[in-house]
Amino acid sequence: MDRRSFTLAALALGAAPTLARPDRLGPIPPSILQGPWRTPENKVRDPFRHPEESLAFWGLAGGMTVVEIEPSGGYWTELLAPFLAATHGRYVAAMPGDPTAFKARYADEAVFGDIEVVPFDAKSGPLVPHGTADLILTARNFHDWMWTPGLVAKYLTDFHAALKPHAILAVEEHRADPRAMVPEARDGYVATGYLVGEVEGAGFRLDGRSEINANPKDTKTYPFGVWTLPPTRRTHAKDQAPTAGFDPAVYEAIGESDRMTLRFRRA
């Protein structure tokens, strides 16, 4: 066992786990799911994000080169980076803006490995050298990109260039279905047909879809769009006072959004 794998085992709350797929649900072992480096804010989301099942569905495996798009609060970073470090893989975070705080947060190479950060915006260049990524993960991002003309097409072109032939594009997104998508998905909910059409039009094929992250309680009709629900929990519009009579408990009981979980392969 190399130094990184040994450190992961030592951090596993006194356990002595193995990284050799000990769980029938997927590749992420308890030593990482329960890792003390995971923030309480992210751990509490596991019942809604279904990390074991989702990563297994998307096809994560040890030794991969994985590019995570806009990791934001680090939910997937806390799982992917330690797993890839321990299995001799490579984790790359593609993100806009100044990466200083992100790098500082995941600076412990014994746990997270040598995390790489690359620029990701409307003018950014290649994510990784052409055809070298095994898996690209984008979670809850498409609705934001739709607000800028040409951005979805630009990013899908970047993903196609980065992935190996037949490699995986993993997508999680708030689902508008069965109701119609509002223009530009301004409430955060994207139609499955729209998303699949855009991705397949960029040189991918839909390889699988899952109901892992479905939520039948989600009515998709909220005063502040999907951001009314956890984890954002918005209670009022920007620069305005909270809405009179607003009861956040109603939305807390719904939980996180109803989401499509899709797996595409690069042609």
Residue 246 placed within a domain:
no
Nearest CA to 48 among 23, 75, 28, 22? Answer: 75
For residue 12, what pLDDT is reported? 39
Range of 103's domain? 39-218+258-266
Is residue 25 scored above 90 in pLDDT? no
pLDDT band at residue 244 under the 50/70/90 scheme: confident
Is residue 10 scored above 70 in pLDDT? no
Tell me how many domains the chain contains: 1
Residue 79 placed within a domain:
yes
For residue 116, what pLDDT is reported? 98
Is residue 216 scored above 70 in pLDDT? yes
Residue 11 placed within a domain:
no
What is the model's pTM?
Answer: 0.90
Distance CA 237, CA 168 (A): 37
Residue 201 placed within a domain:
yes
pLDDT band at residue 15 under the 50/70/90 scheme: very low
Name which residue leads in pLDDT, 242 or 17.
242
Distance CA 155, CA 144 (A): 12
For residue 95, what pLDDT is reported? 98
Residue 243 placed within a domain:
no
Whole-number mean pLDDT of the chain? 91
Specify the CATH number for the domain of residue 125. Answer: 3.40.50.150
For residue 237, what pLDDT is reported? 84
Query: Please, what's the b/e burial string for 230-263 (b: 16 or more CB within 10 A of its CB; e: otherwise)?
Result: bbeebbeeeeeeeeeeeeeeebeebbbbbbbbbb
For residue 241, what pLDDT is reported? 81
pLDDT band at residue 26 under the 50/70/90 scheme: low
Nearest CA to 32 among 60, 58, 65, 71? Answer: 60
Is residue 179 scored above 70 in pLDDT? yes
Distance CA 184, CA 176 (A): 12
The answer to whether 72 touches 49, Cβ cutoff 8 Å, is no
Q: What is the mean pLDDT of residues 185-195?
A: 98
For residue 108, what pLDDT is reported? 98
For residue 238, what pLDDT is reported? 81
Residue 117 placed within a domain:
yes
Residue carrying the six token digits 């797929």: 21
Neighbouring-strand partners of residue 170: 137, 263
